[in-house]
Amino acid sequence: MRHLFSRLCITGQTLIGLTIGSFAAEEEQKVTLEKLVYSMSPAPSDVVREGPRTNSPATFTDALTKFPNINDKLLDLVEQDFYNLRNPERLRLSLYALSYTKDLTKEQQERLKLIERKFPSVGEDDEMERQFLTGLFNVLSNYPSVENEDLALKYAVSDDLMLAINAVMALANIGTVRSLAIVNSVVKKQRDVVGDRRGYLLEELEEAELTLHKRLEMNTNSSTKGSIQVLPSHDLDLKPPAQPTPIVPSREPEVSLPHIIWGIVIVAALGLMWLLLKRRS
């Protein structure tokens, strides 16, 4: 009995030590990632124009890939910045980092787009929502699909110039023949009203329009394997649909390894107490 008691004590101490070590390592990794994302990002200082960089894109990408499960960790940061901290600058940087991984699964893309589906509408005063959409289009421009093109088309016809520009810039990379008329219309509209103050925005739009035309022309003229696929056209309601009142989702906590270890420690402790009481009785 005494030998069993000693072994249980050693096991309990080992589990406690592993739990503390795991928590410490996880916290250290989180601090390191946040420092990289929020303090060492090569993100432009403006949502459209390039600004000074504090890190090279290649170095930044290499550093991100060293974190295990980096996509889920970055999605956690995006949700934290949007739902909890409500900090547009942090949100801009966490979404920018997510655009660098370029290997989101369909499920991870849906997790990101779920935030947009909670919007009732987006006005010029909705800073967080507008910042999120800007970053969302930057991320989705890496993932051509009918669903992502539909989402970009929805905002390309927005009266909000910033949203329209960023949606068109995404369509330059993921748009198909369905996007041509809309993109051409947005560029023409901006060309008709542009002044000196917004000349740089027109340049961004015209560059995106040209990129889209070149991509589709290359697809039409090339039979090479791996050429860009033009997705079939289908009816598209360009009016933003009515959305339900947003409800901030309360995500159920995931059962992580540290929680499991704590459960084992508690069970071991109860077992020790039972043995001690039995031994004294």
Average pLDDT over residues 257-264: 60
Which pLDDT band, with edges at 50, 70 and 90, does 276 fall under?
low
Chain mean pLDDT for the chain:
79
Which pLDDT band, with edges at 50, 70 and 90, does 252 fall under?
very low
Q: What is the per-residue pLDDT for 55? A: 74
CA count, 13 A, side-chain hemisphere, 38 = 15
- pLDDT at position 10 over 90: no
Range of 19-33, 136-150, 239-253 with top mean pLDDT: 136-150
Residue-by-residue DSSP string for 243-277: -PPP----PPPP--HHHHHHHHHHHHHHHHHHHHH
Q: What is the per-residue pLDDT for 114? A: 97
Q: What is the per-residue pLDDT for 108? A: 98
Range of 121-130, 137-146, 190-199 with top mean pLDDT: 137-146
Proportion of the chain above pLDDT 70, given as a percent: 65
Range of 24-28, 173-177, 266-270 with top mean pLDDT: 173-177
Q: What is the per-residue pLDDT for 175? A: 97
Q: Is the pTM of this model over 0.75?
A: no
Model pLDDT for residues 128-185, shown as the tens digit of each residue: 999 999 999 999 999 999 999 999 999 999 989 889 999 999 999 999 999 999 999 9
Cα angle 86-163-205, degrees, rounded to a multiple of 5 = 140
Q: First-to-last CA distance in the chain?
A: 14
Q: What is the per-residue pLDDT for 83? A: 96
b (16+ CB within 10 A) / e for 256-280: eebeebbeebeebeeeeeeeeeeee
C-alpha distances in Å from residue 142, one per residue of 170, 181, 271: 8, 22, 53
Q: What is the per-residue pLDDT for 220? A: 83
Average pLDDT over residues 243-258: 45
Proportion of the chain above pLDDT 90, given as a percent: 51
b (16+ CB within 10 A) / e for 108-147: bbebbeebbebbeebeeeeebbbbbbbbbbbbbbbbbeee
Q: Tell me how far apart the alpha carbons of residues 65 and 278 are, in angstroms, rounded to a whole number.
A: 53
Average pLDDT over residues 246-270: 55
Q: What is the per-residue pLDDT for 34? A: 96
Q: What is the per-residue pLDDT for 20? A: 58
Q: In CATH, which of 1.10.150, 1.25.10, 1.10.3470, 1.20.1250 is domain 41-250? A: 1.25.10
Q: How many CB atoms lie within 10 A of CB 193?
A: 9
Which pLDDT band, with edges at 50, 70 and 90, does 23 fall under?
low
Q: Tell me how far apart the alpha carbons of residues 275 and 207 are, in angstroms, rounded to a whole number.
A: 75
Residues 160 and 120: beta-carbon distance below 8 Å: no
